[in-house]
Amino acid sequence: MSFVQIESLTKKFGDLTAVNDVSFEIEKGETVGLLGPNGAGKSTTIDIIVGLRKPTSGRVLVDGFEPSKNGLEVRRAIGYVPQRAAIFEDLSVRENLSLAAEMYGIPRFKHRVAEIIKEFELEEKADKLAGTLSGGQKSRLNFALGCIIADSQLIILDEPTVGLDHRRRMEAWGFVRRLHGSGKAVLLTTHYMEEADALCSRILLMDRGKIVAQGSPQQLKSTLSDELVVEYTFAEMPSEELVQKLTALPDVVGVNRDDLSLKVTLKSGALPQVRQLVHESKLLIRSSSEKRVTLDDVFRHYTGSELREKGE
């Protein structure tokens, strides 16, 4: 049985249907991304999973418990990392973590707190007030609080990298990858395509309360096409012979030569052969670019709009 089972989940707020007949499952050891713009219904779905909201209809089971009826049992097994660093600024790092550890009833909680402080490299700041931490340290504390239960079965990351700069985002990605490797079920909501692409083993594309597509990032991208376009600009005009050799390759769809540039449309499997032929031509390459199908393209395909535009 899957750790999280959601069947025909619907949540209405008056006339607004925030979540519309959503079904999915999460197994232990997989990182599932709930990808969609603001207002897609991601946070409402999470709130229902943790038992903070009751579904209008449908069924949610977490480890066999219904969150709306057995909220305490469900929440004991869940670690949660919110979007903003929701921390008590007037408590120290250690006190913030101790509060969470005691609330979860962790035995020998001081030992666990020391362990998690070390794991998230917060030793130097352990006894400093959380309000005095830098943005990156607050983000680390935010993650540490979500990971305080060592034996939690499900970690929910609710847009954990919103507002973080590149370096901190990469650090946060490292934490998510570590969680993925620990065998826990991880549910990550995000409106960043590249984040879902890089971190999730499975993605649920959500828009206007509905799941419009789901699968691994590769599967989702291949539903559109596995074609890519490689464009070269050479120092001199490419020869007719090169064009013919490229056109003759079985997985090359088309070759366009325009003065110094060459545009090759191909199935992704043919890329090594194309590169080899270009290399053998001994032409000096001034620039080259590859454009693959991205999750942006997939999202646009299913919803007719840009995720990034809607999300930001």
Partner 1 sequence: MKSLILAKYTFKDVFRDKMGLLFMVALPVGLVVLGNIGAEEMADRAAMIVMIIYFFMIIIGCVGVGATVLDMRRSGILKRILIMPISKMGFLLGVALDTFARLGVMVGIVFIMMFIYRITIPGSWLDLLIVLLIAVLFALALGLNFAAISKSVFATYGIGIGTSIIVFNLADWHLGGRFEGTMIETIADHNPLYHLFRVILGIIYEGTPLCQFHPELGTVFLWIAVLFLSSVALYRWRIEKMI
Interface with partner 1 (CB under 8 A): 47, 50, 52-54, 71-72, 75-76, 78, 80, 82-91, 95, 98-100, 102-105, 129, 145
What is the C-alpha to C-alpha distance for residues 279 and 284, in angstroms, rounded to an integer?
Answer: 9
DSSP single-letter state for residue 226: -
CB of 245 to partner 1, least distance (A): 60
| Residue 64, helix vs strand vs coil | coil
Of 280, 278, 294, the C-alpha closest to 196 is 294
Decide whether 36 or 146 has the Cβ nearer to partner 1: 146
> Between residues 52 and 260, which has the closer beta carbon with respect to partner 1?
52
Q: What is the phi-psi region of residue 63: left when phi exceeds 0, alpha when psi lies from -120 to 50, beta otherwise?
A: left
**Closer residue to partner 1, CB minimum distance, 86 or 237:** 86
CB of residue 106 to partner 1, shortest distance in Å? 11
* Neighbour count for residue 16 (Cβ, 10 Å): 9
- Beta carbon of residue 72, minimum distance to partner 1 (angstroms, whole number): 5
Q: How far is the CB of 44 from partner 1 (least distance, A)?
A: 9
Contact 295, 200 (CB under 8 A): no
Identify which of residues 29 and 71 has a Cβ nearer to partner 1 in the complex: 71
**Mapping DSSP to helix (H, G, I), strand (E, B) and coil, where does residue 285 land?**
strand
- Distance of closest approach, residue 67 Cβ to partner 1, in angstroms: 11
Q: Distance of CA 71 to CAs 57, 114, 257, Å?
A: 17, 28, 63
8 A C-beta contact, residue 3 and residue 27 = yes
Residue closer to partner 1 (CB basis): 44 or 214: 44
CB of 3 to partner 1, least distance (A): 17
Which amino acid is located at 1 in the chain?
M
Beta carbon nearer to partner 1, 90 or 258? 90
For residue 45, with 0-12 CB atoms within 10 Å meaning exposed, 13-18 middle and 19 or more buried, which class applies?
buried
List of residues 6+ apart from 111 with CB closer than 8 A: none
Quote the distance between the C-alpha of residue 46 and its chain's center.
Answer: 15
Task: Name the minimum Å distance from CB 95 to partner 1.
Answer: 6
Nearest CB to partner 1, comparing residues 136 and 215: 136
Residue 49 or 176 with smaller CB distance to partner 1: 49
Side chain identity at 30, as an amino acid letter? E
Smallest gap from residue 53 Cβ to partner 1 (A)? 5
Tokens in use for 39? 């207002």
The number of angstroms, rounded, from the C-alpha of 306 to the middle of its chain's C-alpha atoms is 17
